[in-house]
């Protein structure tokens, strides 16, 4: 007898964790799993189908869009719309919210925020990329038009969040606020299979992850903290895909930082669909996530859908130590 648990089986079993659940979130999560498989197929054969390279346009944040970004975005939107459980989405690739037409006899109450392909500069060189998603429940009446304000919820309001890491294998990690579980795609059967049950981040680890190339563009206390990491002989790892960098830290322990820089005065990463979902997952695994002002990411007000934030996230003792280090440095500096 085999003891393989597929993502679908697991999601259905977990439905009973939610009182009065009607299966809508379960359905939505399963549809995201299907979308992840479709995107995975394309990521894997990207080099073969001449889909690599830039699309020739810019996204809502003024960055070059890769063909695969466009494909991943289209597929995610298609799957979410067909699912019927989602009333609208915010995607990194679309400037405005996308509102799905109401399906006959359905009151879709969930909204999805997503970064369809994170770390897209890695695509052309065969390095890991990822997908990030977060699920919110809308707070306004389901029969009124969905507006941008509906999406401006704090990270602490997330109902579920997850990511897919397209690396040496493809892993989907998600949480519905009751622990974190990981599923590895078995290409021979085309199913995500439970491979990492109840993931807990190590209290501390040997890695720090930051774009050290921007060292001189960081504030002085951040530069001193990075020197401190180096003094501690921590190992520097930076893939340039938040999903992949945080995935390492989730399993092996460490700290990931994307502080504000002179160019990105509020940080670069997007609060709604990058920082919040990843912070929810890491907190659920016992970790911590704050911004450069030492405020908990999940408590931050979201004022616009493509808003950016600085982020420091990872093993709890290391985030605590970073806060202590920076506070001490600031106090010494002021006195």
Binding site for Mg ion (CB under 5 A): 115, 118
Task: Establish if 115 lies at the interface with ligand AHM (CB under 6 A).
Answer: yes
Closer to ligand AHM at the Cβ: 211 or 266?
211
Closer to ligand AHM at the Cβ: 14 or 223?
223
**Minimal distance in Å, beta carbon 14 to Mg ion?**
27
Cα–Cα distance measured from residue 257 to residue 284, given in angstroms and rounded to the nearest whole number = 19
**Minimal distance in Å, beta carbon 6 to ligand AHM?**
28
Enter the tokens of residue 140: 């306004």
Q: Give the interface segment with ligand AHM, choosing from 11-19, 116-124, 281-289, 321-329 (CB under 6 A).
A: 116-124
**Minimal distance in Å, beta carbon 177 to Mg ion?**
23
Q: Give the interface segment with ligand AHM, choosing from 42-50, 168-176, 237-245, 306-314 (CB under 6 A).
A: 237-245
Cα–chain-centroid distance for residue 159? 14
Residue choice 131, 241, 284, 310 for contact with ligand AHM (CB under 6 A): 241
Are 88 and 100 in contact, with CB atoms under 8 Å apart?
Answer: yes
Task: Establish if 93 lies at the interface with ligand AHM (CB under 6 A).
Answer: no
Residue choice 119, 134, 182, 292 for contact with ligand AHM (CB under 6 A): 119
Closer to ligand AHM at the Cβ: 167 or 240?
240
Task: Establish if 31 lies at the interface with ligand AHM (CB under 6 A).
Answer: no
Residue choice 81, 120, 165, 170 for contact with ligand AHM (CB under 6 A): 120
Cα–Cα distance measured from residue 23 to residue 242, given in angstroms and rounded to the nearest whole number = 31
**Minimal distance in Å, beta carbon 300 to Mg ion?**
18
User: What does the H/E/C string look like for the chain?
Assistant: CCCCCEHHHHHHHHHHHCCCCCCHHHHHHHHHHHHHHHHHHHHHCCCCCCCCCEEEEECCCCCEEEHHHHHHHHHHHHHHHHHCCEEEEEECCCCCCEECCCCCCCCCCEEEEEEEEECHHHHHHCCCEEEEEEEEECCCCCCCCCCHHHHCCCHHHCCEEEEEEECCCEEEEEECCCCEEEEEEECCCCEEEEEECCCCCCCCCCEEECCHHHHHHCCHHHHHHHHHHHHCCCEECCCCCHHHHHHHHHHHCEEEEECCCCCCCCCCEEHHHHHHHHHHHHHHCCCEEECCCCCEHHHCCCCCCCCEECEEEECHHHHHHHHHHHHHHHHHHHC
310 binds, among ligand AHM, Mg ion, none (CB under 5 to 8 A by kind): none
Task: Establish if 288 lies at the interface with ligand AHM (CB under 6 A).
Answer: no
204 binds, among Mg ion, ligand AHM, none (CB under 5 to 8 A by kind): none
**Minimal distance in Å, beta carbon 280 to ligand AHM?**
17
Closer to ligand AHM at the Cβ: 120 or 279?
120
What residues numbered 254-273 form the site for ligand AHM, per CB under 6 A? 268
Task: Establish if 63 lies at the interface with ligand AHM (CB under 6 A).
Answer: yes
Question: Which residues of this chain interact with ligand AHM, rule CB under 6 A?
Answer: 63, 92, 115, 118-120, 211, 240-242, 268
């Amino acid at each position: 007898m085999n003891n393989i648990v597929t993502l679908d089986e697991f999601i259905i079993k977990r439905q009973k964790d939610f009182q009065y659940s009607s299966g809508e979130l379960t359905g939505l999560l399963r549809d995201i799993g299907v979308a992840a498989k479709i995107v995975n197929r394309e990521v894997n054969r990207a080099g073969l189908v001449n889909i690599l390279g830039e699309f020739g346009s810019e996204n809502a944040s003024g960055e070059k869009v890769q063909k695969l970004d466009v494909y991943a975005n289209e597929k995610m939107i298609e799957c979410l719309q067909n699912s019927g459980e989602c009333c609208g989405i915010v995607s990194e690739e679309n400037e405005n919210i996308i509102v799905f037409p109401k399906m006959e006899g359905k009151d879709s109450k969930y909204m999805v925020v997503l970064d369809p392909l994170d770390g897209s500069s890695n695509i052309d060189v065969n390095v890991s990329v990822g997908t990030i998603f977060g699920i919110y429940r809308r707070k306004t009446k389901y029969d009124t038009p969905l507006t941008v304000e509906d999406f401006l919820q704090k990270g602490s309001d997330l109902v579920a969040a997850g990511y897919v890491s397209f690396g040496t294998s493809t892993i989907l990690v998600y949480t519905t606020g009751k622990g974190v579980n990981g599923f590895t795609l078995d290409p021979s059967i085309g199913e995500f299979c439970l491979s990492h049950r109840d993931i807990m981040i190590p209290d501390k680890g040997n890695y720090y992850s930051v774009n050290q190339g921007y060292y001189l563009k960081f504030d002085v206390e951040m530069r001193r903290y990075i020197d401190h990491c180096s003094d501690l002989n921590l190992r520097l790892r930076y893939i340039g895909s938040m999903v992949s960098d945080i995935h390492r830290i989730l399993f092996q322990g460490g700290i990931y930082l994307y502080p504000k820089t002179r160019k990105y005065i509020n940080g670069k990463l997007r609060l709604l669909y990058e920082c919040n979902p990843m912070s929810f997952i890491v907190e659920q695994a016992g970790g911590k996530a704050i911004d450069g002002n030492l405020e908990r990411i999940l408590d931050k007000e979201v004022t616009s859908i493509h808003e950016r934030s600085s982020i420091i996230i990872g093993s709890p003792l290391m985030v605590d130590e970073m806060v202590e280090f920076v506070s001490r440095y600031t106090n010494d500096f002021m006195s």
